[in-house]
Structure 1
Amino acid sequence: MTSHFTALDWTVLLAYFAATLGVGLFLSRGSGSAEGFTAANRSLPGWVCGLSIFATFLSSISFLALPGKSFGSDWTPFAFSLSIPLATWIAARWFLPFYRASGEVSAYAHLEHRFGPWARVYASSFYLLTQVARIAMVMYLMALPLAVIMGVPIGSVLVITGMVVTLYSLVGGIVAVIWTDALQAFVLIGGALACLALMIFQLPGGLGELFRVAGEHQKFSMGSMALDDWSRQTFWVVLLNGLFVNLQNFGIDQSYVQRYIASSSEKEARKSVWLGGMLYLPVSAVFFLIGTALFAFYLSRPGDLAEVRDAVASQRLITDGFDPAAPGFASAVATKAATLPDADIGDGVFPHFIGKHLPSGVTGLLIAAVFAAGMSTISTSLNSAATVFHADFFLRFFRPDTGDRGSLRVLRWATLVFGVVGTSVSFLLLNIASALDAWWTLSSIFSGGILGLFLLGLVSRRASNPAAIAAVICGLGIITWITLSTAGLWPESMSATRAPFHAFLAIVLGTLVILFGGVAFSTLFHRKQIRS
């Protein structure tokens, strides 16, 4: 596969990098102040911010992990996408006007006004943890196709891509991030559609064969519809997880809130929400269809599928410390490859197809599309993480009187630090079986019930600071209980108390416990005050 990446592919890929960096540097002139770096001076059109939201949402997690998931199983994860319209409507109806009216650049300043400094620190801290996990996951999935196609160690690719994206984000600020996201959105959609068309064209029976094979193997199944099974990844478990995660994304995620604020008006901001959300729904379906097409394609090519297994097995053995030059390495690869189920090789199938079965030049375009997906998300996460650190920690607790030049310096240093940390954490993800499952689990855990605290503050005017603290403690307890139980870390001596829920429900139950627990505690504390 190394020789398949031709001079034309390199030309396409390097031209994409040059164009992206050129646009970013050109637009970075608008980021010479802290307001420009974090909020684009609140002057951008809604369609640009909407494309940026879409490109941020459609990270390399979607570009590689969604096809990998539908290849290894079925369309059950598509239930996540089906929750987006409702989450988008709620965000446009209530959250967006609130942020536009507040005038704050941080999404979490409101929590301090409502419950005190602890709430702002709590939400900001868990948000930063989420961004580090997101940066690491996306960087891993950016590096994966190059490692497979070029035959180089994935660790080397992680370091190089981490340096490139961090430098790009460091220079550009939010103006460059949003405009280049809009440009990359077209690359993402075009690359996905081109790949699907070429994949179907190479099937002996074309589109008819795809649907025949998918039907025979139930690849279009949306999973179990049982309402009494909450311990498995059923349709309803994924749908609920999607609703709460997307409410968090569109409602309280700093990355999205900055785009609402960067829009020139509330009307333009509302356009950005609907465009970003509604564009993701059909495009995610395209990626699931790519995974199903990959299954049909490789089913008729067992030799190619064996290559994928060998490549995945080899990469995991190298990560575990095996020396590729050792005499027994080839037999170790064969042994490990023979035990890998389809679900464990899903993330490696699409890169293999890109590297071996696409025409010269198109391979370069698809690798550029993967990088477009990753760079959009990572640059956004780096900018928003730096913004949260600057607004919620540095200015709030350390140097509130810092001038514009000092603030800009802090923002850029914070961008660099988060880039280094995210790249380092990406090395911990090298042996995961499914990037999509890993990301959904991490995002559910690190959300920390932030959505529940936001909803409590907005829904209940009576909710007091002590009630909110008590509710958050209970919510974090639920999240910890479910997480430890599903990760196999619950003590055997306490097996009877193990959570009967799937890990995806951690964010759902944690949010609901904080919301309704906060209301209940507020009523209880209020009655005690009346009696005393």
Structure 2
Amino acid sequence: MFWTVVIVVIVGIIYAGGFGPIFEVASDGGRLIFANVNPSMLERETLWGVLIGGFCYWLSFNSVHQSMVQRYLALSTLRKARQSILVFTSSIAFFIIVLCIGGLLTYQAYAKCDPISAKLIDQDDQMFPIYVMQTVGNLPGLPGLFVAGVFGAALSSMSTVLNSTALVILEDIVKNLLKIDLSPKAANHLVRASVFILGAIGLALSFLFQYLEGILSVGVSLTGLASSAQFGIFTLGILFPWTNSIGALTGGIIGYLMAAWIVFGVQISTLMDLIVRDKLPLDVSECPFNVTLPEPREQPDINPIFLISYHWTNPIGVCTTLLVGAI
């Protein structure tokens, strides 16, 4: 996936005529906003949300998430584990920059004809795929490379998550909590059955994504939710030596429930069409057919906590865990 997107972006930059036209169109359309310092947590994208929320998200994900810890433990020395974190962090930073450029390329291609308003696609998540197919997809092999990269990334991530979750079920629940001693053959069958069941559940839930807020926000929210309480408990033990197991457990549960309330409340509100997100201006002046932009809607009266940006899900869970656990 990494090199697939890099290749698509490089080809897109060449087709666009370099960085100059890309940034010029983005600037004219008001897409280059670097200094939105609005402190409100209700605004979806702000400097503070990206910096603070992103820092907490990646710190908790890299430090305590089961799939990452399993990778560290697979290395032979602590030095190699530290080097892997450095390589991963540097690669992620570079990849995010590449993705941002890919977003600007997509905007440049559709600056005068928004595909969603023109009913060419239904969701924001389809913007980059349609860009690949309509703009650089004429190159032989590039669409196939893009599809292979997407499926490769999905299979790689899913295999890691399923494997690590199955091991948690075996080691932490069956052996430690239930005190069941399994033979190697029975343990192997249990892990395989767990992977199959979890995979089936994941496949079934994937059909819900078309009704949710968006893959990026949902993915960040759920991953941040999963690691927030864990990271909060570990941080609690490091910073607050007077806390005990009851405080850590209580703080972790309440922190997790707090973050889960926000995450699932946002998604349910989205399903019920109760959330109206502010969007930057769109243009359909050069669409090949008549397109009418939808009338702007007013935000219905709902609990403001369900309007909190997805960037803050992880910090809220961590801070709640620390506060309750320390008390």
- Output the TM-score relative to the length of structure 2: 0.79
2:143 is aligned, of 348, 351, 363, to: 363
Contact 2:232 2:318 in 1 (8 A): yes
How far apart in 2 are the matches of 1:220 and 1:308? 22
Amino acid aligned to 2:41: W
How far apart in 1 are the matches of 2:205 and 2:186? 29
How far apart in 1 are the matches of 2:82 and 2:93? 17
Report what 2:5 is aligned to: 192
How far apart in 1 are the matches of 2:207 and 2:268? 22
**Within the alignment, does 1:310 sit opposite 2:119 as a pair?**
yes
Instruction: Write the deviation string for residues 99-156 of structure 1: whole angstroms up to 9, x where unpaired.
Output: xxxxxxxxxxxxxxxxxxxxxxxxxxxxxxxxxxxxxxxxxxxxxxxxxxxxxxxxxx
**Within the alignment, does 1:260 sit opposite 2:72 as a pair?**
yes
**Which of structures 1 and 2 has the bigger CA Rg?**
1
Amino acid aligned to 1:414: S
1:439 is aligned, of 213, 219, 230, to: 219
How far apart in 1 are the matches of 2:171 and 2:216? 31
Q: Name the CA shift for 1:473/1:253 in 2 (closer, same or farther; >3 Å).
A: closer
Report what 2:43 is aligned to: 232
Residue 463 (structure 1) shift: 1.2
How far apart in 2 are the matches of 1:375 and 1:496? 38
Correspondences of 1:114-513 after superposition (within 5 Å): 188-203=1-16, 205-222=17-34, 224-226=36-38, 228-233=39-44, 234-299=46-111, 302=113, 306=115, 309-313=118-122, 345-357=123-135, 358=137, 359-398=139-178, 400-447=180-227, 449-476=229-256, 478-479=258-259, 482-483=262-263, 498-499=304-305, 501-513=308-320
Which 4+ runs in 1 deviate beyond 4 A? 305-309, 480-489, 495-498
Contact 2:224 2:314 in 1 (8 A): yes
SS in 2 for 1:281: helix
5+ residue gaps, structure 2: 270-300
How far apart in 1 are the matches of 2:115 and 2:248? 54
How far apart in 1 are the matches of 2:201 and 2:268? 27
Residue 442 (structure 1) shift: 2.7
How far apart in 2 are the matches of 1:348 and 1:496? 28
Q: Name the CA shift for 1:502/1:290 in 2 (closer, same or farther; >3 Å).
A: closer
Amino acid aligned to 1:364: G
Contact 1:482 1:506 in 2 (8 A): yes
Contact 1:482 1:502 in 2 (8 A): no
Correspondences of 1:7-156 after superposition (within 5 Å): none
Instruction: Write the deviation string for residues 220-259 of structure 1: whole angstroms up to 9, x where unpaired.
Output: 3235113x32221211022222122112211111101011
SS in 2 for 1:221: coil
Instruction: Write the deviation string for residues 414-454 of structure 1: whole angstroms up to 9, x where unpaired.
Output: 11111111001101112234221222233334446221112
As a proportion of its length, which structure holds more helix? Answer: 1
Residue 360 (structure 1) shift: 1.8
Cα RMSD (Å) of the superposition? 2.7
SS in 2 for 1:312: coil
How far apart in 2 are the matches of 1:214 and 1:374? 30
Contact 2:60 2:228 in 1 (8 A): no
Residue 286 (structure 1) shift: 0.5
